Amino acid sequence: MRVKYLFLTWLTVLVSSWVIYVQYSAYTELCRGHECKNAICEKYRRGVIDGSACSSLCDKETLYFGRCLSSLPNNQVYTGSWGDHSGIIHCQLGEVARYDLSEEPEPRREAPAFDKPSKGTSVEKFREMVFSLLKAKLGEQVNLSGLVSHILSVTDGNRDGRVSLPEARSTWAILQMDEVLLGLLLQERGHTPRLLGFCGDLYMTERVPYGPLYGFALPWPLVSWVPNSLQRTIDQWFTPSWPRKAKISMGLLELVEDVFHGTYGNFLICDLAAMHFGYTDRHELRLTKTQVVVPEFEFRRVMRALRCEKDADCVYGADCQTSCDLSENRCREKPLQPNLAKACRTLKDYLLRGAPSGMREELERQLFACMALRGNSRQLDMEHSLILNNLKALLWRQISHTKDS
């Protein structure tokens, strides 16, 4: 019996040590914020890059890394604090070694060289570079010049009235990341977390205190055991009061309205899952993952190049789908569903649970009419505007007299 207990004790210690080792190895591979900071500050001190966050990060050390949120080694994500601001720090790293052969390796990513624009480039030439980049990503838009001017004002991190070469290199680096560019486009209307500052390709955005939009993230061992119907029920338990849900929902409807034939063209939201949204203390909606937004110009370009045998082959992201032209075996460019229809599908359970009895039936009718919208409708613009305005008016009538408005 003693030998048996000794063996079990030894086995427990061995297994526990192995689990601790694996967890520590995974943490050290995923969480490499110190490497990221050292690499950025080394280039800043050499005069290669500069930006609004560089001095605070590297000289004054008033920009702090907090808790690690990284899910990929090359994309470092941390909570952070910078003076009175709390936010989320994003930092890109070069290639890392992967030892887990059971998973697909992360795509190779070279460390940024920060060699553009080159030495001797004038501000006007840099303006042309930014304009060409935006045109390539967004297509021909009448307001691109105004957007370029806004980006140049952001580039002047030290507010001395001029753009230096290191500042231009930092701006050029973050503009290569679609999530930053789209965040700049959408933050004017308050739909995305505000960009607080950047240094090279490290940047910090404001923190969204509440997220996801609704729901509760179950521990991964339980996910496969909990039925979807029960998961949806549990999701609805972790939501604010109905008037506050209505205000948050109006924020999502306004986001959809602003990206539909917006200032810089039309955009598609290719994953309207609740996990990609959060809200502030004032119950104002924020899109926390801008990678799910794609310019329609880019979407159509990708779809034109896709070959297909069935409609299921014509999908971009999670749920931006077109139909397959079987005569040419190529995907059509027109999305099957507009953003509004997918937004209403996301909001249906969220809004109907706890809705006032006097308007529940009308709300349900309008949500189902919204979900039935199709992208190939000849009168899509008119139907889109009518349904959107009716929904917003219905919600506003219910909360306009409350403090939540």
In the numeric block, the tokens 């920009």 are attached to 63
Q: Which helix (H) or strand (E) holds 76?
A: strand 75-82
- Which one has a higher pLDDT value, 108 or 393? 393
Look at residue 107 and tell me whether its pLDDT is greater than 50.
no
Q: Hey, what amino acid is at 363?
A: L
pLDDT of residue 231: 67
Mean pLDDT (the chain) is 84
167 half-sphere exposure, CB direction, 13 A CA radius? 21
Cβ-contact 176, 203 below 8 angstroms: no
Cβ-contact 42, 200 below 8 angstroms: no
pLDDT over 70 percentage in the chain: 83
Closest-CA residue to 178 (of 196, 156, 200, 201): 201
pLDDT of residue 98: 35
pLDDT of residue 21: 45
**Residue range 209-262, pLDDT digits in tens:** 987 887 666 555 565 666 766 666 666 677 888 999 999 999 999 999 998 887
pLDDT of residue 111: 53
pLDDT of residue 128: 94
Domain 222-303+336-401, CATH number (from 1.10.10, 1.10.760, 3.40.50, 1.10.510): 1.10.510
Look at residue 105 and tell me whether its pLDDT is greater than 50.
no
pTM of the model: 0.81
pLDDT of residue 261: 81
Look at residue 32 and tell me whether its pLDDT is greater than 60.
yes
pLDDT of residue 190: 86
Residue 310's pLDDT band (boundaries 50, 70, 90)? very high
What number is the average pLDDT over the span 186-205?
90
In the numeric block, the tokens 């140049």 are attached to 152
263 half-sphere exposure, CB direction, 13 A CA radius? 13
pLDDT of residue 102: 36
What number is the average pLDDT over the span 151-174?
90
What number is the average pLDDT over the span 72-94?
88
Look at residue 175 and tell me whether its pLDDT is greater than 50.
yes
**Residue range 208-220, pLDDT digits in tens:** 998 788 766 655 5
Closest-CA residue to 267 (of 139, 385, 369, 171): 139
> Rounded to an integer, what distance in angstroms lies between the CA atom of residue 324 and that of residue 336?
11
Write out the DSSP string of 219-248. -HHHHTTS-HHHHHHHHHHS---HHHHHHH
Where along the chain do its domains lie?
33-93+118-206, 222-303+336-401
Number of helices followed by number of strands (H, E) in the chain: 14, 13
Closest-CA residue to 204 (of 233, 170, 228, 227): 170
Strand partners for 75: 72, 92
Residue 275's pLDDT band (boundaries 50, 70, 90)? confident
What number is the average pLDDT over the span 344-351?
92
Look at residue 187 and tell me whether its pLDDT is greater than 70.
yes
**Residue range 359-378, pLDDT digits in tens:** 999 999 999 999 999 988 88
Q: How far apart are the first and last CA of the chain?
A: 70
> Rounded to an integer, what distance in angstroms lies between the CA atom of residue 244 and that of residue 313?
39
Q: For 363, which DSSP code? A: H
Residue 94's pLDDT band (boundaries 50, 70, 90)? low
Residue 14's pLDDT band (boundaries 50, 70, 90)? low
> Rounded to an integer, what distance in angstroms lies between the CA atom of residue 93 and that of residue 72?
10
404 half-sphere exposure, CB direction, 13 A CA radius? 20
